[in-house]
Structure 1
Amino acid sequence: MKRLASHLLGVEQGSIVLFSDFKDGGVMWTGEGPRELRRLVEFSEPFLGEPVVQVSLSMWDMDQKTNQRADISAEMVNAEGFVIVFRTWGDTRVARVRADWLAMGEVRSEDDWAID
Structure 2
Amino acid sequence: MKRLRNHLIGIDQGDTVLFSDFEDGGEMWTGRGQRERRRRIAFSEPFRTEPSVHVSISMWDVDAETPVRADVAAETITQDGFDLVFRTWGDTRVARVRLAWMAMGELRQADDWDLY
Distance 1:54 1:112 in 2: 29
Question: Aligned partners of 2:30 and 2:14: how far apart in 1?
Answer: 28
Structure 2 residue aligned with 1:21: 21
Matched ranges for 1:67-106 at <5 A:
67-106=67-106
Name the aligned partner's letter for residue 46 of structure 1.
Answer: P
Q: Which runs of 5+ in 1 are unaligned?
A: none
CA distance in 2 between partners of 1:59 and 1:115 (Å): 41
Which whole-Å CA distance do the structure 2 matches of 1:71 and 1:91 have between them? 15
Q: Aligned letter for 1:45?
A: E
Q: TM-score, normalised by structure 1?
A: 0.95
| 1:37 counterpart letter in structure 2 | R
1:32 paired to 2:24: no
CA–CA distance in structure 2, aligned partners of residues 40 and 115 of structure 1: 26
Partner of 1:43: 43
* Coordinate RMSD, CA, aligned: 1.2
Change (3 A) 1:54 1:115: closer
> For this pair of structures, how many residues does the alignment match?
115
How far is 1:112 from its partner? 2.7
TM-score by length of 2: 0.95
Moved over 2 A (4+): 111-116
Q: For the residues of structure 1 that align with 2:112 and 2:31, how far apart are their CA atoms?
A: 53
Q: Structure 1 CA distance, aligned partners of 2:112 and 2:14?
A: 29
